[in-house]
A and B are shown apart, each in its own frame.
Chain A
């Protein structure tokens, strides 16, 4: 298993670890529910250095318009976009955040478990772009996510840039703890926050951020409950190669007005998937988990499966994302049942996200 450069820091903090995407990552430092609330109410610090960083330079905007499903040529320098890379059948290879660093330079952040598939797919698409380079820089960057309503105020006192002018889904260079870093106003928690790209040894930055009042170290357990409350998909659960962006209700990410891109023809044929992602909310304290079957009330035939499910720490009710038959007649308010190890539990179809931060 791979370790991030911050492993000694996690050990010092008494973290418990879990395997994720080939990496040994902190799952929690103490109570994962306390960590969850610290992100919702104050500020949480995550080591997400397992994520992959891929730099694309040269004829980059034309290349990315061809290789990815969105129109990256449209975004301005210093802005970011959530997008996906699909195969020629329209299946999702990974979901990505792409940051535009300069006219001819982009940084892609991909999921740890998909690093090699994404790099390989990008390189295979270079054929007609001789002046474009794709460089896997995952080994060069540590990534630290600082998330929660107090993040801007806390981080603002430590950097040489005015964070109030750095818009949501933007990226800027900054100096933090004497190091040149990138600050991106992105995240995976449903809260305002920043993701910090650090080159070289990140332990000084980590220690500085953690020493600030109101900042708690947070593990992957709460990262999962936070993103699920925010209705955000996780590759391997809500997204995979058998699914198109339409199945995940993310068809709007696709730009069919581009002359050509990998997967275009297939995606035009796959706009009405057999199964789609729904948000489910129950009551009580018992939660349906991934792979549990869903039924219409009293029904005997499964209409699909839970992809992620948990007792929401913020809402205090069970929530789930489920991939369900599009022809089951479900709409907001419809009742369904989950088979929780032999017991049927009621859920209602609800709007996503489950949780939206106040503005």
Chain B
């Protein structure tokens, strides 16, 4: 699966969809494949503060534990509660139903374009 062109990316293999002042955040297909089948997702509380590059959640697969970094400063406005029951959505549809959190951001750091992220993961 190609990395969608309409999204921004981080070196930590997260994708970001910017819509007005809300950023939707997930992990890329590349990251989901590397983790293996995801069995548990620990997400921050709605209303909590997101701080750029601070850990705000965990993604566990059968084999490993991955950390979720907040890609920007802001406030968590929504988390994907459906992942409690179906964490494997992150594998099935990483760029869609497998989204993780929404942040009302206060500032935007430099993010990678899809072309730059493609180059990072060698696609």
Q: Does B37 contact A33, Cβ atoms closer than 8 Å? A: yes
Chain A, residues 112-153, CB within 8 Å of chain B (1/0): the string is 000000000000000000000000000000000000000000
Nearest-CB residue, chain B, relative to A286: B40
Known: A16-B33, A27-B36, A341-B58. A32 touches B63 (CB 8 A): yes
Residue B60 interfacial (CB < 8 Å) = yes
Question: Closest Cβ of chain B: how far from A207's Cβ, in Å?
Answer: 25
Q: Does A311 contact B37, Cβ atoms closer than 8 Å? A: no
Cβ–Cβ < 8 Å partners of B39 in chain A: 33, 285, 287, 311
Cβ–Cβ < 8 Å partners of B87 in chain A: 285
Q: Which of A221, A285, A289, A313 contacts B65 (CB 8 A)?
A: A289
Residue A225 interfacial (CB < 8 Å) = yes
Cβ–Cβ < 8 Å partners of B37 in chain A: 28, 31-34
Question: Closest Cβ of chain A: how far from B89's Cβ, in Å?
Answer: 13
Interface centre among B37, B61, B88 (most CB of A within 10 A): B37
Residue B62 interfacial (CB < 8 Å) = yes
B1-60 contacts to A, CB under 8 A, are 33, 36-37, 39-40, 42, 58, 60
Q: Does B60 contact A311, Cβ atoms closer than 8 Å? A: yes
Nearest-CB residue, chain A, relative to B42: A286
Instruction: Count A-side interface residues using an 8 Å CB cutoff.
Output: 19
With A and B bound together, what is the CA distance between A310 and B60 in angstroms? Answer: 10
Cβ–Cβ < 8 Å partners of B91 in chain A: 31
Cβ–Cβ < 8 Å partners of A289 in chain B: 65
With A and B bound together, what is the CA distance between A328 and B87 in angstroms? Answer: 36
Q: Does A33 contact B42, Cβ atoms closer than 8 Å? A: no
Question: Closest Cβ of chain B: how far from A316's Cβ, in Å?
Answer: 9
With A and B bound together, what is the CA distance between A33 and B37 in angstroms? Answer: 7
Known: A31-B91, A286-B42. A311 touches B36 (CB 8 A): no
Q: Does A287 contact B63, Cβ atoms closer than 8 Å? A: no
Cβ–Cβ < 8 Å partners of A313 in chain B: 62
Q: Does A33 contact B62, Cβ atoms closer than 8 Å? A: yes
Cβ–Cβ < 8 Å partners of A28 in chain B: 36-37
B55-93 contacts to A, CB under 8 A, are 58, 60-63, 65, 87-88, 91
Question: Closest Cβ of chain A: how far from B41's Cβ, in Å?
Answer: 9
With A and B bound together, what is the CA distance between A33 and B86 in angstroms? Answer: 13
Cβ–Cβ < 8 Å partners of A32 in chain B: 36-37, 61-63
With A and B bound together, what is the CA distance between A85 and B41 in angstroms? Answer: 42
Q: Does B33 contact A310, Cβ atoms closer than 8 Å? A: no
A27-41 contacts to B, CB under 8 A, are 27-28, 31-34
With A and B bound together, what is the CA distance between A227 and B71 in angstroms? Answer: 38
Cβ–Cβ < 8 Å partners of A221 in chain B: 36, 62-63
With A and B bound together, what is the CA distance between A287 and B62 in angstroms? Answer: 9
Question: Closest Cβ of chain B: how far from A272's Cβ, in Å?
Answer: 35
Cβ–Cβ < 8 Å partners of A287 in chain B: 39-40, 60
Chain A, residues 208-233, CB within 8 Å of chain B (1/0): the string is 00000000000001101100000000
With A and B bound together, what is the CA distance between A31 and B89 in angstroms? Answer: 12
Question: Closest Cβ of chain A: how far from B90's Cβ, in Å?
Answer: 12
Q: Does B40 contact A310, Cβ atoms closer than 8 Å? A: no
Cβ–Cβ < 8 Å partners of A16 in chain B: 33, 36
Chain A, residues 275-290, CB within 8 Å of chain B (1/0): the string is 0000000000111010
With A and B bound together, what is the CA distance between A311 and B63 in angstroms? Answer: 10
Cβ–Cβ < 8 Å partners of B62 in chain A: 32-33, 221-222, 224-225, 310-311, 313
Cβ–Cβ < 8 Å partners of B33 in chain A: 16
Cβ–Cβ < 8 Å partners of A33 in chain B: 37, 39, 62, 88
Nearest-CB residue, chain A, relative to B85: A285
Q: Does A311 contact B65, Cβ atoms closer than 8 Å? A: no
Question: Closest Cβ of chain B: how far from A265's Cβ, in Å?
Answer: 41
With A and B bound together, what is the CA distance between A313 and B37 in angstroms? Answer: 11
With A and B bound together, what is the CA distance between A310 and B63 in angstroms? Answer: 8
Report 11 cross-chain contacts, Cβ distance below 8 Å, ordered by A residue: A16-B33, A31-B91, A32-B36, A32-B62, A33-B39, A33-B62, A222-B62, A287-B60, A313-B62, A341-B58, A341-B65
Extra contacts, 6 of them, besides A225-B62, A311-B40 (Cβ < 8 A), are A16-B36, A32-B37, A33-B39, A224-B63, A285-B39, A287-B40
Question: What residues of chain B have their CB less than 8 Å away from a CB belonging to chain A?
Answer: 33, 36-37, 39-40, 42, 58, 60-63, 65, 87-88, 91
- Which 8 A-B residue pairings sit nearest by Cβ, starting from the closest? A285-B40, A33-B37, A311-B39, A31-B37, A32-B37, A221-B63, A32-B62, A32-B36
